[in-house]
Amino acid sequence: MRSINKCCPVVFNGCLFFLVSLIISPIHAADQYEPIDWHIPVSKFSEFGLDYQKVAQITNDGLMVVVANPQDFTFWNARNKAWQEYKNKKIDYVVAVIDAPVDEIREMVWDLESQEKFSPLLNDTTILSTDGNIRIGKYEQEIKVPIIKIVSDFIVQFNKYDDGDVGMVLIDEGDIESFYHYWEFFPLGENKTLTVLSGWQDIESASFMLKVLLSAEPALGKVFPILTMYERLRQFRDEVARRHPDRAPAKDDSRYSIRTATGYINDNKALDLQELKKLTQLGNVQFYQTAKNVSHDGKVTEISQVSALEYIPLPKSAIQPLLSDFNSLVEYNELTYGWFDRDSTGEDWAFLELAVRIGPFRVPVDIYLIQEQVDEDRMRFFTADHSYMYPLTGHIEFVELPDNEGTIVGVNFGGVVGPDASFIFKMARYLPFHNVLIAAAYATVTADSMEAWVVERVAKDNYKPSDSVVSNL
């Protein structure tokens, strides 16, 4: 017995050491991630031949997104650990002016560990290793939706490049197989930098729960990658403002009416139309405007507006008859199911029948619109008080380019979920990016199909340009 008692601690300690080794070794080994030799698979923003000062003026203190035309490319698949061909994919470029010098923003991007403090989707941001200009880190992404919380770990690699750019690529784990972010910095002067975050993620390879969420409504799958990047760059800009309040632009505390809140393209006096045309030829362009306080019906509501711009290589006189009311949306916008003008409703409002899909079910989104013609180039609208979105404001705008070079069409939306919305639709208040989600989704699917539909329709119907502007109001 005595010998057994003497041996037990030894045996026990040996077993304990063995078990601890088994537990610790895989964890330690799992942290040894090999870096990959990768490069951005498509053109950088710096390769588009743009004037960065003019682009900065176009952003007009908001954020701009260019959803580039579809491309084919080869990129790293982190799950299969192999290069893979991807077909017909859209790259997003998010652009903003940040009130900080290039070096400060670059270090914020490089410093992964600090980002959970100001990035609401990220937790447990950790640097695993740094070797010169290559850094490997991990973070947890948390997406909260009603009833469900989707949590995923990502292992990513950062690269600092000789030209000052910073790239990030998925190398392991994650709830998708492939994605990257690429940061470019263009100094505009003292403490101002045009910052561009481009990227792509393979939504089609999403994990089961994320795929269920994104495939329930296809429009959500289109806008989710855009909004994750929009939110990321916006949080960097806001964090700089918190760190340096003396540099931050003055907050707009003005109160706007439902008619004055909407921002038109031509309101930007520094706008360069030729530069804007170059941007729209890359793909559809979206502007996420600074939120405004809208005083309406005895209440003040903060509304964030999203504008979608599309270049159409036709004169305004051929386009305007097709897009001057909402009837055409039924044909090319997948969220629009019907349009009933005032003659049909017998009221001072028209009815825009929208719906979102949740799996096999269609959830109505009833929008009752009051339309007003501003001038021959602009029509604005806002909602009546019983709309699911209330208050909501927006407009359709036509900007004809000089020398018959075509027309830029702008569609603007911004609003909040109203008190008369259905219970299911009110749940949108608890979705990520809820302040811009609905406007961004509608703007995205509108711009996605507008040009092809208009060009085909003009050719089919043989519309002839006229000198007069058509109004359906």
Coil, helix or strand at residue 454: helix
Instruction: Read off the pLDDT of each residue in 130-138 and give the average, rounded to a whole number.
Output: 97
Look at residue 362 in the predicted model and tell me its pLDDT: 84
Report residue 450 as tokens: 């507008």
Confidence of residue 468 (pLDDT cuts 50, 70, 90): very low
Ranges 111-115, 156-160, 401-405: which has the least confidence: 401-405
- Spatial distance between the Cα atoms of 348 and 9, rounded to a whole number of angstroms: 88
**Range in 8-22, 129-143, 313-327, 453-467 the model is least confident about:** 8-22
How far apart CA 224 and CA 33 sit, in angstroms, is 29
Residues 230 and 313 occupy one common structural domain: no
Of 93-102, 152-161, 403-412, the least confident: 403-412
Say which DSSP state 470 is in. Answer: P
pLDDT in tens, 408-434: 999 999 999 999 999 888 888 888 888
Q: Same domain for 220 and 297?
A: no
Dihedral pair phi/psi, residue 358, rounded to 5° = -120, 95
22 part of a folded domain: no
Residue 16: what pLDDT? 36
Do 443 and 311 have their domain in common? yes
pLDDT average, residue stretch 264-272: 84
372 and 424 in a single domain? The answer is yes
The reply to whether 72 and 176 lie within a common domain is yes
Which residue's structure tokens are 């890359």?
Answer: 282
Residue 177 counted as domain residue: yes
8 A C-beta contact, residue 92 and residue 185: no
pLDDT single digits (tens) 432-452: 888 899 899 998 898 888 888
> DSSP E strands: which ranges in 40-113?
63-68, 71-77, 82-89, 92-98
**Residue 32, in any domain of the structure:** no
Residues 345 and 448 in one domain: yes
β-strands 71-77, 166-173: how paired?
Answer: unpaired
Q: Round the average pLDDT of the chain to a whole number and report it.
A: 87
Over residues 349-360, the mean pLDDT reads 87
For residue 359, the model assigns a pLDDT of 67
pLDDT of residue 470: 36
**pLDDT one-digit tens code per residue, 188-217:** 988 999 999 999 999 888 877 777 766 667
The reply to whether 171 and 231 lie within a common domain is yes
pLDDT at position 267 over 70? yes
Q: Is residue 299 part of a domain?
A: yes
Instruction: State mean pLDDT over 57-69.
Output: 93
pLDDT digits (tens, 9 = 90+) for 230-252: 999 999 999 999 999 998 888 88
Residue 327: inside a domain: yes
Pairing of strands 350-358, 336-340: antiparallel
Contact in structure between 58 and 272 (CB atoms under 8 Å): yes
> DSSP 3-state assignment of 329?
helix
* Distance between CA atoms of residues 391 and 415, nearest Å: 6
Q: Which domain-ending residue is among 243, 262, 290?
A: 243
What is the token pair recorded at 464? 């002839």
In this structure, the number of other CB atoms found within 10 A of the CB of residue 402 comes to: 8
Q: Are 383 and 415 in contact (CB under 8 A)?
A: yes
Instruction: Record the tokens describing residue 222, joined without a space.
Output: 């289109």
**Which pLDDT band holds residue 314 (cuts at 50, 70, 90)?**
very high
8-53 pLDDT, tens per residue?
433 334 443 333 333 333 343 446 899 999 999 999 999 999 999 9
- Per DSSP, 271 falls in state -
CATH number of residue 88's parent domain: 3.30.530.20
Looking at 192, 227, 243, the residue that finishes a domain is 243
**Count of domains in the chain?**
2
Looking at the structure, tell me whether residues 237 and 282 fall in a common domain. no
For 146-212, where are the E strands, in sequence order? 148-160, 166-173, 179-189, 192-201
The answer to whether residues 38 and 76 touch, using CB atoms and an 8 Å cutoff, is yes
Q: How confident is the model at residue 108 (pLDDT cuts 50, 70, 90)?
A: very high
Domain assignment of residue 248, yes or no:
no
* Same-domain status, 219 and 323: no
C-alpha to C-alpha distance for 220 and 334, rounded to whole angstroms? 12
pLDDT digit string, tens, across residues 451-466: 889 988 888 776 554 4
Structural Rg of the chain based on CA atoms: 26
pLDDT of residue 31: 60
197, 168, 194, 193: which is closest to 180 by C-alpha?
168
Last residue of a domain, one of 196, 220, 243: 243
Domain that holds residue 453: 274-461
| Residues 63 and 204 placed together within one structural domain of the fold | yes
**In the Cβ-directed half-sphere of 106, how many Cα atoms lie within 13 Å?**
18
Q: Are residues 238 and 310 in the same domain?
A: no
Task: Give the three-class secondary structure for 205.
Answer: helix
Least confident range of 54-68, 87-101, 127-141, 197-211: 197-211
Angle at 407 between CA 402 and CA 408, to 5 degrees: 115
State both tokens at 112. 């992964």
Does residue 120 fall inside a structural domain? yes
Instruction: Based on the fold, state whether residues 212 and 349 are members of the same structural domain.
Output: no
Q: Is 225 part of any domain? A: yes
Which whole number is the average pLDDT over 255-284?
90
What ranges make up the beta strands (E) of 78-133? 82-89, 92-98, 122-131
In Å, how far are 372, 462, 468 from 318, measured between CA atoms? 21, 9, 10
